[in-house]
Amino acid sequence: MILFLPSAPGLPPNAPDIRPILRAGTRDRVNVELYRYGFVENGTNYRIDIEEDFFHDGASVPRLFWTLVGITPGGKIEPAAVVHDKIHRHKGRMPRECYMMQKPDGDWINVPGMITKLHADKIFRDIMGKVGYSRTKQWAAYRGLRAAAWKHRWK
């Protein structure tokens, strides 16, 4: 049996509706509705779509950071975590219609190639800034991601 809990308080209005689910021995969460994260890079619009019912484990924040830096696994870090988890699930090779860029004529096309771990970590850091984390907390989380990057076997 899966039990859904209410969405985390304190999220900005455009944040995804992510709800923790209670299953024995997990920290799983589920994206309750489509979440589209958009960003601009070098003058081009990009978007990453996280589908409804996407299961993920949220932010894996070591307990030491909870008190030292003030970043906890739930709450306003969730938008960054769900996008980062989606990229990692596919090892940067995003499914069609998931990672898109806007052409000058306004049409959206699939982005060729893949998202590197470095780029995924920068996206995580940038989302943290957009939901209200200080630069210090963004830097701490980003450095933590970069330190753990060796554990994952993709670029």
CA distance 105 to 117: 30
pLDDT digits (tens, 9 = 90+) for 13-72: 555 555 555 444 555 666 667 788 888 889 998 988 888 777 777 777 666 767 777 777
Structure tokens belonging to residue 96: 């069609």
Instruction: Give the count of beta carbons closer than 10 Å to the beta carbon of residue 46.
Output: 18
**152 in a structural domain:** no
pLDDT interval class at 4 (50, 70, 90): very low
**99 in a structural domain:** yes
**153 in a structural domain:** no
**155 in a structural domain:** no
State CA 98 to chain mean position distance: 13
Q: Is the pTM of this model over 0.75?
A: yes
- Count of the separate structural domains present in the chain: 1
Which phi and psi (to 5°) does residue 44 adopt? -110, 140
**154 in a structural domain:** no
Contact, 110 vs 56, CB < 8 A?
no
The whole domain housing 73 covers 3-147
Contact, 55 vs 36, CB < 8 A?
no
pLDDT digits (tens, 9 = 90+) for 100-134: 999 999 999 999 889 998 899 999 999 888 888 89
Dihedral sign (CA 32, 44, 77, 94): positive
